[in-house]
């Protein structure tokens, strides 16, 4: 099972000008990575990330699903897909983490 997180997009939340702010998308992706990278592992911190925004977030909910590509002894690598409630891909995030000893 891959970690799956949800964030509501409401006018009182991360929505400005009728679209979800990119920082909110990144925060959701980072949270999904934090959960996925620490399952059964030492605490992990993000050391590098890139985000590609593919569509504006105009829906009411955002979801992030993290797929761990490699779980090494001290480093891990993941892809996070951020979608809306209609399964439209909003952003793709690549993340690298370092395991704390």
**Domain of residue 52, residue span:** 4-99
Q: Is the pLDDT of residue 78 over 80?
A: yes
* Structure-model confidence comparison of residues 41 and 8, the more confident one: 41
Copy the structure tokens of residue 101: 């000893």
CATH of the domain at 48: 3.10.129.10
Q: Work out whether the CA dihedral 26, 27, 28, 29 comes out positive or negative.
A: positive
* pLDDT classification of 14: cutoffs 50, 70, 90: low
Rg (CA), the chain: 14
How many structural domains are present in the chain? 1
- Name the DSSP letter for residue 13: T
Residue 89 near residue 64, CB atoms below 8 Å: no
């Amino acid at each position: 099972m891959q970690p799956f997180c949800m964030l509501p997009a409401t006018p009182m939340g991360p929505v400005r000008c009728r679209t979800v702010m990119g920082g909110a998308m990144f925060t959701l992706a980072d949270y999904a990575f934090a959960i996925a990278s620490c399952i059964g592992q030492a605490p992990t911190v993000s050391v590098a990330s890139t985000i590609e925004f593919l569509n504006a977030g105009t829906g009411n909910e955002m979801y992030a699903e993290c797929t761990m590509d490699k779980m090494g002894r001290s480093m891990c690598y993941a892809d996070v897909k951020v979608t809306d409630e209609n399964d439209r891909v909003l952003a793709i995030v690549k993340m690298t983490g370092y395991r704390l000893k």
